[in-house]
Amino acid sequence: MRRAGMDQGGTGLAASGENMVGTGKGGARRRWVATLAAALLAFPGIAFADWAWNFQPPASPIADQIERLHELIFWICVVIFIGVFGTMFYILIKHRKSVGHQAAQFHENTTIEVIWTVIPFLILVSMAWPATKVVLAMHDTSAPDMTIKVTGYQWKWNYDYIDEGFNFYSTLSTTLDQIQNRQKKDPHYLLEVDHPLVVPVGEKVRVLVTAGDVIHSWWVPAFGLKQDAIPGFVRDTWFRADKIGTFRGQCAELCGKEHGFMPVVVEVKSKDDYATWLAAEKQKLAAVADDPNKVWTQDELVAHGKKVFDGNCAACHQPTGTGNAAIGAPALVGDKVVLGPAQHQIDVVLNGQTNGVLQHPPAGGKMPSWAQLSDADIASAITYTRNSWGNKAEQNVIQPKDVKAERK
């Protein structure tokens, strides 16, 4: 009947035996739907080529406990889902009015009320007990083997090895050419840094987390670790890496326009390799110690300044010093601040600048304060700008002691 009606109305398949695709407006529509369906069936294989189930493979005891807890809660939810909806559909099918079933009355049935109160309570206890154990373990920072202070800045991390007496900054190392699609992207695009955090395998690391400007969040999924970094507060957490390798995370708090360019990279080394790295790091840092009385040569300042500039300033002012008008970052090529008195440029870098007016203290304007950098880093970066891209300032060499003298 349906086939005949469709043929008579002129909207169905022709009775003359046209194929299923057909011709005309209806056939074109069916061909379009068939093509779309085929594309949708093929799309998941392309879009989810790197898709994986579950969390990142755990690399610490806490991450392992979190994954086990997640699986336990998941299967409890599956059992509840099957039980509730299975019962509901069974009742709808077997006890429907069309088969003559009469609705039963359960009003003020004490047994039923006890059952549907006790069972959810037992389910919640079965979920809360293991969850509480994991949460307590996550906050047990007692008896660490080493302590590292992590400070978030827009948009980098500072790692302070408190027990060893040195610190360094960790900044995104993905090139601007990759970010602006002028170069093929690295496999670890936006998840690579110039100086990763390095820790030994098997040792409990207590992490003190804070921030120097806005709220950040230090997050390493493989360690089951995520701690907010809040200005004026020091919060602690811990991890013990039980696998050697490189583990990556990100700032998990929206902290400004460069939020997506603030990765976390942790290298876990064997204890022997860590000891070797630690000795080399101390020797390297000692060689470039921020001694305000040390006199650097121009070549030393320019070489070190390029690294500081590329890691901190190039995102706005461009590696070529040509600036970015879209975000209000002026060109440094021939800039009157760069070519003018050194004291003025030091003030701008130390204290920030808003609409050409210096801020004391920084007021969070267009040019943020970079006072968190060392005297040597600031002196080097300024010297680099005064001797690059054709700039020839009258005072073209700035020493760390000059920067120290201007700090408020």
Q: What is the pTM of this model?
A: 0.64
200 and 319 belong to one structural domain: no
CATH value at residue 268: 2.60.40.420
Look at residue 34 and tell me if it is in a domain. no
Look at residue 186 and tell me if it is in a domain. yes
171 and 78 belong to one structural domain: no
CA dist 65 → 159, 239, 255 (Å): 27, 12, 30
d(CA 386, CA 401): 17
d(CA 146, CA 361): 35
340 and 357 belong to one structural domain: yes
Q: Are 405 and 349 in contact (CB under 8 A)?
A: no
Look at residue 260 and tell me if it is in a domain. yes
Tally the domains of the chain: 3
Look at residue 279 and tell me if it is in a domain. yes
350 and 263 belong to one structural domain: no
246 and 341 belong to one structural domain: no
Can you give the pLDDT at residue 27?
64
Residue after which a domain boundary falls, among 86, 117, 138: 138
Query: Radius of gyration (Cα) for the chain, nearest Å?
Result: 32
348: domain range?
298-406
261 and 312 belong to one structural domain: no
CATH value at residue 381: 1.10.760.10
d(CA 390, CA 336): 14
Look at residue 48 and tell me if it is in a domain. no
d(CA 278, CA 173): 22
Look at residue 17 and tell me if it is in a domain. no
Can you give the pLDDT at residue 107?
76
Residue after which a domain boundary falls, among 88, 122, 138: 138
pLDDT tens for the chain, 408 residues: list them: 333 333 333 333 333 333 433 445 556 667 776 676 666 555 554 544 456 677 888 999 999 999 999 999 999 999 999 999 999 999 888 888 888 887 777 777 888 888 889 999 999 998 999 999 999 999 999 999 999 999 999 889 999 999 888 888 899 988 888 888 888 888 889 999 989 999 999 999 999 999 988 999 999 999 999 999 999 999 999 999 999 999 999 999 998 888 989 999 999 999 999 999 998 887 777 665 556 677 888 888 888 888 888 888 887 888 888 888 877 788 898 888 898 898 899 888 988 875 444 433 333 446 888 888 888 889 899 999 999 998 888 888 888 888 888 886
Can you give the pLDDT at residue 350?
87
153 and 251 belong to one structural domain: yes
278 and 304 belong to one structural domain: no
Residue length, the chain? 408
164 and 283 belong to one structural domain: yes
175 and 268 belong to one structural domain: yes
